[in-house]
Structure 1
Amino acid sequence: MDTISTNVAPVGSKPALAARIKALPTPDKALLKLLFGAALLALVLGLIGGFVTALARAGALTFFPDDAYRLLTLHGVSVFFYWLYLIQAALLLVLAAAENGRGLALRPFAWLGAALMLAGFGVSEWISYTGTPLLYDGSPELATDDPRSVGFFALGYLLLSGGLVALAVSGIATVLQPRLRGEADAFTSIGFALFAWAGFLVVSAIAATNAFRACCGRWAPGPSRPTTAPSGTSCSTTCTICR
């Protein structure tokens, strides 16, 4: 006698990850597409900068020193900061939303975070292309006579940090939501990993803020302000932005 076998998921099991992502609310999917698209753009820009730099080092191309530093700056900023943090933010949110099953919690925070990160991306790319090239770590010693470039460069990273915190807060709220609704007594292993990951992103953002905030006007000249940042910070020059 012929039989038909079917695969039946256990009661209470979750649908596959792809199905959960497909079922996300439209605003969440739009946000995730935006973040993944921006991350890929940062990666492409960084790879182009790295490829051209490699050609220059091989002797196939010749640049003036400032242009060579500019390429290195664009490469480092795009890959080591914006690609890495944008893709982490996108992956955190998509996995958290899928784990929750009902989309993102604190959705306005997520959109605010994305807007801040994209604004920082734009500022950093613009000042890296038009200002004094500072390399990816924003070394102020390379622009002692151009505090404007230092200030805008730091502003880009501060916007990135603020956006990262807002996105991480949304991710944390999203993985906590099932427990707050009484649908779960404890984290799943994936939920706990996402919660910890979001916490690490917040710590990274705080560290970046502490490193670059001195560049953004706090140490601008004034009656009660020192003209240099204190020792131990990454900025030791005067800035004119964000006064």
Structure 2
Amino acid sequence: MTDIANNNADYRLVYWPIPGRGEFIRLCLEHAGARWVDTPGGVDEVMGYVEGRAELGDDSPQPLFPPILRDEKEGVVLAQTAAILSYLAPKLGLDGEGAAAQAHVLQHALTGLDLNDEAHNTHHPIAAMLYYEDQKTEALRYAEVFRRERIPKFLNYLETNLARNTASNHTCLVGSSRTYADYVWWQVVDGLLFAFPKRMQTVLASYPHIKNFHQHIKADERIAAYLASERRLPYSDGVFRHYAELDAE
């Protein structure tokens, strides 16, 4: 929870003030009711890590990009979304039971993160450092293929694996309880609903398990409280952006 004092937090997330790749981590921390704070130093704190000014301790490598997690109890500083999720999973009860299940959780999470990256490329297909307006022509071409081919391809993967998992009544990807892979996929689906509302309304008609999965997680008591709070940052200039010209049925 982010309403605790900084010095009482077990985890400190360092990320830009957008949902972005930090949102996968926020959702997992909220799921577990963890004691955490979200970038109390603001953008200056993020830049301290990016520019190599932050104190890392003896064993933690210098991060290249956020998100960055500080485990205050263990003295660990870690970057890269997938690495952070994998590290947090056993601490938060989101890792799956046994080595095979844990590998499957990682497989699902990495696949969801692949789709996340492709969604980002719809508005920045050439370079992240260029403005959208500088690559709009290419973005229109990329988004058309993304809507037609990539969204159905990835959502078919999600629908198929939800359908296969009878242990959770099709509401989780691995086993009978939630893992970090579920939160990765929930956030990607939610972001796509924001960025491509017309296309998602059309394709989700063919994916009943995904629709139920999205609503089931959204209705979770802790997640619902988080989504209704100021801690849940609005979609803006992050991965998921809505440009009307990039969306179509």
Verify same fold: TM over 0.5: no
Task: Between the two structures, name the one with larger relative contact order (CA 8 Å, sep ≥ 6).
Answer: 2
- Of the two, which has the highest radius of gyration? 1
Structure showing the higher strand proportion among its residues: 2
TM-score, L = length of structure 2: 0.30
Structure showing the higher helix proportion among its residues: 1
TM-score, L = length of structure 1: 0.30
